[in-house]
Chains A and B, each alone.
Chain A
Amino acid sequence: MNRQLIYILILAAITVPLFLPLGLKHRVTPEVERFYQTIDVLPAGSIVLVSFDFEASTVAETRPLAYAVLRHLFSNNVSVVSLSTLAEGTGLGYNFLSEITEELGKKYGEDYIFLGFRPQYQATILGLGEGFSKVFPKDYLGNELSSLPLAERVKNYDQINLIISIADGDLPQYWVDYAQTRYKKPVLAAVTAVMATSYYPYLASGQFSGLVGGLKGAAEYEVLLGKPGLGFKGMESQSLGHLMIIILIIIGNLTFLSQKKRI
């Protein structure tokens, strides 16, 4: 079977559900449940640090994750201090934050702030422990941090209840290595599906308090929030995609076995 045929089959499998929804149901996994509960038990007025640690390439997975997590935080009246440790994540993170806060009627400076981007993530994560205003004297919009009511409440990690890393790489690991090990802050990770499998050791050891992985995780989170969104839609395509790959593997092996028999 040549490559082009394989690509066409995959394209068909992924695009058909976009026009013909399958109505599949999702079961919530324990790690997503743990993530949800960790946020749900936060009292109103808690402050959570959300870090947009992803690049533009993974926006298809990180957008549903970010939307679900931010909706949950703001619906529970939790204040959000956010930043990005990657240059591309800055504009995207701010866009996601703006969309959700506009939807839920949240006010910049009081309910949320966006600090922006600083290079060298190790130095940034460690520096925040010394002082937020030291690393970010001004926020992404150019406001002095001292002029923002929410920023006045946050000096360093001591005032932060929880750290959430929405990531497509190994940044959550650095939040654990530097923020959790040194400053004892609980860390949650919402990551792309390909990264999720490498973080199960961190979840099992308790270094992550919860883990949401990929579109599936986003879809499960939407189930818990009671608001189906991009995760739900994406999972239908992903389901048929997985099925098609399994069929291709079976065909490949049958071809291989029949060639072996002939020899």
Chain B
Amino acid sequence: MGLSALRVDLLLSFNTSRLNVLVALLICAALVFYFIRQGKKRKGLFLRPISGLSAIEEAVGRATEMGRAVLYTTGLGKMERVATLASMNILGNLARKVASYGTPLIIPCYDPVVMAVAQEVVRESFAKEGKPDAYREENIYFVTQSQFGYAAAVDGIMTREKPAANLFLGTFEAESLILAETGNSIGAIQIAGTDSTIQLAFFIVACDYTLIGEELFAASGYLSRDPLVTGSIKAQDWLKVVIVILIVLGVVFSTLNLDFLSELLSVK
């Protein structure tokens, strides 16, 4: 197929019923890159304090004083999950603290790809802290891809190794309360964060600090103050403002029996 024929084919085959999605995506992208630029110019944007993240320093300090390990788990998510990516960002920061204090860090993994990335992240962090020899690859390992097999394994690690701090940051499902309750029974300080709205309730009851939904995504920007991340968090906040305005307009128009806004925004 010649290039000009390809161009014509592409031009004619645009799915006009998805134009609203394309426009929304372009607005999102524009806001994200605008605020990333702002963040770079102003050397960081303000983010409100997130108590769960401030407690990470406390948790690592406590583990170091007690001479016990820090247990970190990214949950059941695969690497393409946004919660897992956010968790890896936090892990990078945590690993630097752990390297500087010399505290053991145990990371049982549910997914082999996540394990490979976690090993790389922790190795980089130890190297940045000037302690590449302190890195222990055998502490970051794949366990199983069975949900409750994983829960049983992590529970076993908790009861045997008795970590002083447990960090549950990522995607969790029904095993969340099993992990959190077992951690509670060994007296560990527990910080949790997940994008699963159901498991949040269990974590809030059983853990000392919980990052709710987006706070997990904001965590990496909060810890690193990286303008690339803080910029996109700012953009998300402004996008929420846009969505709230659309919701209010939608309610008003629907009440007045004017359907054009809901027609405009529906995905066909």
Q: Which residues of A contact B (CB under 8 A)?
A: 3, 55, 57-58, 88, 168-169, 181, 192, 194-195, 197-198
Report the Cα distance A3→B181, complex, angstroms.
11
B267 in contact with A181 (CB, 8 Å): yes
CA distance A197 to B198 in the complex (A): 8
Whose C-beta in chain B lies nearest to the C-beta of A184?
B268
Complex CA gap A198/B198 in Å reads 7
Query: A55, A169, A181, A198: which contacts B146 (Cβ < 8 A)?
Result: A55
Q: Which residues of A contact B267 (CB under 8 A)?
A: 181
**Number of contact residues on B: which range applies?**
10 to 19
Instruction: Provide 18 A-B residue pairs closer than 8 Å at the C-beta atoms, listed in order of the A residue.
Output: A3-B185, A55-B146, A55-B147, A55-B148, A57-B147, A57-B148, A57-B174, A58-B174, A168-B174, A169-B173, A181-B267, A192-B174, A194-B174, A194-B198, A195-B198, A197-B198, A198-B196, A198-B198
**Once bound together, how far apart are the Cα atoms of A55 and B173, in whole Å?**
12
Known: A55-B147, A181-B267; 11 extra A-B contacts, CB below 8 A, are: A3-B185, A57-B147, A57-B148, A57-B174, A58-B174, A169-B173, A192-B174, A194-B198, A195-B198, A197-B198, A198-B198
- Kindly report which residue of chain A lies nearest to residue B145, judged by CB atoms: A87
The 3 tightest CB contacts between A and B, nearest first, are: A57-B148, A198-B198, A198-B197
Chain B residues, CB < 8 A from A181 = 267
Q: Would you give the 0/1 interface string for B183-209, flagging 1 where the beta carbon is closer than 8 Å to chain A?
A: 001000000000011100000000000
- Considering the complex, give the chain B residue whose CB is closest to the CB of A205: B266
- A191: min CB distance to chain B, Å: 11
Of residues 219 through 266 on chain B, the ones whose CB sits less than 8 Å from some CB of chain A are none
Question: A195 vs B146: C-alpha distance in the bound complex, in angstroms?
Answer: 18
Q: Report B134-155 CB contacts with A as 1/0, cut-off 8 Å.
A: 0000000000001110000000
